[in-house]
Amino acid sequence: MSSASTSQPIVPKTDYIEEKEDEEAYWKIDAEICGMLPNLPKEKGWTSEDLVQYQGFWIYPTFALKAAVHLQHHFNLFQTTGSSTSAARGSLPMYFLATLPKSGTTWLRALMFATLNRSLYDAASPHHPLLTTGPHDCFPCLEMDNMLGNHDHSRPVTSLDHDHHDDRDGGDAMIDSYVPPTSTAQLFATHLPYSLFPKSVTTSSSNYGVSKFVYVCRNPKDVFISLWKFGSKVKAVNTGLAPFSLEEAFDLFCRGVCPYGPYWDHVLGFWKASLEMPEQVLFLKYEYLRKEPSANVKRLAEFLGQPFSEEEESKGVVQQIIKLCSFENLSSLEINKTSRTQQYLVKANIVVENSDFFRKGQVGDWKNFFTDDMAKRMDHIIDERFSGSGLTFANP
Ligand code: PAP
């Protein structure tokens, strides 16, 4: 999304690169990416940068493409070099929150963070870190924060250190440390489609122990409206360019051209993986989460290996977590109303307010925007793409 030149390596060296041969490999990969860029299909972007098509998916070139390719190679390098950092990381499972943008990332970040760290942070406490830290700053984005060197990967990143701070003016904003006194897993958010994921991570025999994916799917009509609203604002603020009209955006979305799209390929990739490996991929639906939060949060905790005890349930811990992470609560917090703290965006000089991630949080808002023709076209695509998959949408 930035205006950075795509002919320059924009992904700084990180602690992934520990040995000389890794460093050489890193720059070789970077040169390869720069070489491939001019030949990739290109379309107008939804925010402030054009999208390129890479292995079937439309992604932003300045960090998503470069980061995705680097990560694929680095995880492999990592796996084969057997460095000390690799060994340290290998002892902790990796949990990924995977989403197509605008499907519920912010909500699930908060829920995963609060659930996994409930023994550290009481969900009902007035000092819970989520009350002063935006959900996007609780744990890193795999393809963005990592490649921009925001995190110390020699240490686990399950949760925040109590002493973290941020600079509300942006610029040098930073979180000092994501390291809690105890950690049970490394947590990452990602928008990468399943098929672009490094095999070393999706293969259960990897050096990293068990990798698990929590995927959140939201009905495509609401995702489209949410994306169009968000993209329009970000594009106007960062480029001064006119945002897409509703019709133009809808046509692009239907043709599969949206960040990390096509929508259906992204969703189906994780859906199929969840059917094949239910112990490794949990497939959640935004609408069902809205309807039955308690059942879903319990399912989430169980999947992540930390089921709620009877005592916790009787004390109302599940309900406390749901309340803490609710749209109403999070969107009313000062940190989410007035700050701009997402590290990779701040570093890339892209203006996105924390409040931009809280709009309405409703199911079915699409009905306020769609014409009958739009609804028919989308329904037709849904039938065509998802028939036979077993996946249905609560409110398509
Ligand atoms: P991202 O993938 O770019 O991080 P993401 O959080 O998935 O964005 O999407 C934002 C949407 O989630 C917004 O939907 P809307 O535009 O239809 O309103 C936002 O309002 C909604 N959202 C954010 N937090 C919550 C929450 N706690 N509960 C329910 N919905 C939420």
State pLDDT tens for residues 154-212: 333 333 333 333 332 332 222 333 333 335 677 888 999 999 887 777 775 544 556 89
pLDDT for the residue 209: 58
Q: Which of 177-186, 317-326, 330-339 has the highest mean pLDDT?
A: 317-326
Q: In what order do the strands lie in the sheet with 42-43?
A: 42-43, 51-54, 57-59
pLDDT for the residue 286: 98
| 200 and 78 Cβ atoms separated by less than 8 Å | yes
- Pocket of ligand 1 contains residue 365 by CB under 6 Å: yes
Residue, of 10 and 233, whose pLDDT is higher: 233
pLDDT for the residue 242: 85
Which residue's CA is the nearest one to ligand 1's atom 2? 101
- Ligand 1: which of 190, 226, 258 to mutate, most ligand atoms within 8 Å of CB? 226
Band of residue 115 on the pLDDT scale cut at 50, 70, 90: very high
Q: Which atom of ligand 1 is nearest to the CA of 222?
A: 17
Angle between helices 20-36 and 66-81 (to 10 degrees): 150
pLDDT for the residue 225: 98
| Whole-number Cα distances in Å, 184 to 9, 13, 158 | 34, 27, 7
- Pocket of ligand 1 contains residue 336 by CB under 6 Å: no
pLDDT for the residue 240: 82
CA distance 347 to 148: 8
Cα-Cα-Cα-Cα torsion 254, 256, 257, 261, nearest 10 degrees, comes to 130
- Pocket of ligand 1 contains residue 231 by CB under 6 Å: no
Q: Which amino acid is at 192?
A: L
Which of 128-132, 135-139, 347-351 is least confident?
Answer: 347-351
Share of the chain above pLDDT 90, in %: 51
Which residue's CA is the nearest one to ligand 1's atom 23? 358
- Ligand 1: which of 223, 324, 358 to mutate, most ligand atoms within 8 Å of CB? 358
Whole-structure pTM value: 0.85
Q: What is the mean pLDDT of the chain?
A: 79
Q: Judging by beta carbons within 10 Å of its beta carbon (0-12, 13-18, 19+), is residue 24 exposed, middle or buried?
A: exposed
Residue, of 94 and 103, whose pLDDT is higher: 103
- Pocket of ligand 1 contains residue 325 by CB under 6 Å: yes
Q: Which atom of ligand 1 is nearest to the CA of 109?
A: 6
* Ligand 1 mean position, distance from CA 202 (Å): 26
* Ligand 1 mean position, distance from CA 360 (Å): 8
- Give the residue-averaged pLDDT of 102-111: 96
Q: Which two tokens stand for residue 7?
A: 């002919």
- Tokens 């932003």 correspond to 60
Which residue's CA is the nearest one to ligand 1's atom 11? 102
* Ligand 1 mean position, distance from CA 124 (Å): 22
- Tokens 């169980």 correspond to 302
State pLDDT tens for residues 258-316: 999 999 999 999 999 999 999 999 999 999 999 999 999 999 999 999 999 999 999 99
Q: Which atom of ligand 1 is nearest to the CA of 106?
A: 6
Strand 57-59, strand 94-99: pairing? unpaired
pLDDT for the residue 315: 97
- Pocket of ligand 1 contains residue 232 by CB under 6 Å: no
Which residue's CA is the nearest one to ligand 1's atom 9? 102
- Tokens 């999304």 correspond to 1
Strand 42-43, strand 51-54: pairing? antiparallel
Band of residue 141 on the pLDDT scale cut at 50, 70, 90: confident
Q: Which two tokens stand for residue 111?
A: 């829920």
Q: Tell me: domain 21-159+181-386, CATH 1.20.120.10, correct?
A: no
* Ligand 1 mean position, distance from CA 379 (Å): 23
Q: Which atom of ligand 1 is nearest to the CA of 103?
A: 7
State pLDDT tens for residues 46-90: 987 789 999 999 998 877 887 778 777 766 444 433 333 443 444
| 240 and 309 Cβ atoms separated by less than 8 Å | no
pLDDT for the residue 74: 64
Q: Is 128 a catalytic residue?
A: no
* Ligand 1 mean position, distance from CA 42 (Å): 27
Band of residue 15 on the pLDDT scale cut at 50, 70, 90: very low
pLDDT for the residue 210: 66
Secondary structure of the chain in HEC code, one letter for each residue: CCCCCCCCCCCCCCCCCCCHHHHHHHHHHHHHHHHHHHHCCEECCCCCCCEEEECCEEECHHHHHHHHHHHHHHHHHHHHHCCHHHHHHHCCCEEEEEECCCCCHHHHHHHHHHHHCCCCCCCCCCCCHHHCCCHHHCCCECCCCCCCCCCCCCCCCCCCCCCCCCCCCCCCCCCCCCCCCCCCCEEEEECCCHHHCCHHHHCCCCCCCCEEEEEEECCHHHHHHHHHHHHHHHHHHHHCCCCCCHHHHHHHHHCCCCCCCCHHHHHHHHHHHHHHCCCCEEEEEHHHHHHCHHHHHHHHHHHCCCCCCHHHHHHCHHHHHHHHCCHHHHHHCHHHHHCCCCHHHHHCCCCCCHHHHCCCCCCCHHHHCCCHHHHHHHHHHHHHHHCCCCCCCCCC
